[in-house]
Chain A
Amino acid sequence: MRKGVLELCILRILRKGEAYTSDIVDALKAVDLLVVEGTIYPLLTRMKNAGTLTYRWAESSSGPPRKYYDLTLEGEALLAELEAAWDQFVSSVNSLDSSSSTPRTS
């Protein structure tokens, strides 16, 4: 579940333009969605294999080489799809709260 949400978040981060792994990690950590960085690497690899992301290596003048990720067209389509599913999910969950007339389950 959490990984599914992470997938959506990664796509959202990359919508603004390409980012290298540490940018993605920092962005996710800033909003408390990532506890240990380890989970992100296999996820990025899987998304790349699924054709939703591409990457390129870039040399950095100040540090180690950086792997920049970007969305593919397929990734953009998936993002739109996941966002629609997410909105629906959130409204489903919220609607359960507001309809207090539903029978109580003990």
Chain B
Amino acid sequence: MSSHPMTSRPLYFIILSFLFTFFPSCGGSSIALAQAEPIDIATTQMIPDSEQVVVEPVTSLIAADHKYDDGGMIDLSWVPSIDDQLVASRVIGYKVYRIEDEGEPEMISELAPGSNTYNDQSVERGKLYSYFVSTLSINAETPSVRTAPIEPQREWLNYELLNVLIMALVLGGAVIYFIETARRGKKLFVRKIAGLEAVDEAIGRATEMGRPILFIPGILDMDDVQTLAALTILGRVARIIADYDTKIFMPVSRSLVMTAGRETIKASYQAAGRPDAYSDDMVTYITDEQFGYVAAVDGIMVREKPATCFLLGAFFAESLILAETGNSVGAIQIAGTARPAQLPFFIAACDFTLIGEELFAASAYLSGEPKQMGSLKGQDVGKAIAMAAILIGILTVTIGDAWNVEWIQNITTGLVDVFSTR
């Protein structure tokens, strides 16, 4: 079977993820901070002075470039008006004004009383911005002093996500390590998966009964990893049916899956020394539309009465319809999907079900391919880390709360920070 691009060169994906996460930009300079300048701006004259309810302006207005972004945000902070802090406050809100490149002031936001921060996310690099905040009373506005112009900057790295990078590198490193280990010929242990022994028996049953096998690789396209896992298992199934000369039907809902399926089965027949027994009609494209595909497959099941149905891959609402119809024609059904919503139906209606990641484990187990085996083992490292973190975290946070022990609470805080993404 041809190797899939997705399973080659895992290092490329580490680099890709690094780029996507940590390089919001391709330039960089230091963070700029603007200090308030004593620029005089007159109080808004909307009604006669004598009737205005004048309130104190905000103070200590600071505009700062937002850290670790692409230069698209400026953070504003200020001390609210003294009048806003009184019990009988006369302040009804604040308005944030922005001046772009020494142009006219533009009101960009209106905030509730008590507000003391604002993130302006509609700025662009290469432009200068200054701000002032007006305090609103029922009939007047009192602007603050204006900040000095500031230009938003982009940064190379987002250090706030450093923990995500480290975790990704640890996991990615584990995957690469195990792939290389498998390539060197070392046998990697994968526990027995219930349902896999049934594959050979199920195909044998179909051969004895003289009825065909139906293989459904899910309804998603080749870019979905469940479809790839299903096609890997198809390779194994096709090899056996080529030996036994059993008929197979494989209706698909994606054109690329059709061509990949045909290649897989053709290769299996060639490997079995029976290339002339292969026919393109074994794999047929139905339609992309979900329930149109299901209606057609149901019709095939009822008319062809397969002895064995393989339902492996990504399924959605059609899962129960397919499983029930297969059950009604008396087929033995082996299902597997990583979509939790569909697993209950397969478990209820099928004879054997590969639950979630067992589908990928089965694919790795059957193919024995170093990349798949290595990926599986690498993911187990991630699971081990998750289990350890949960166990240690829950114990320390529970005990730390009970006995108020600082060092235990520090462990909890550190652990939570390791997994924090904000």
Query: Do A and B share a complex?
Result: no
Give the interface of A toward B (CB within 8 A): none
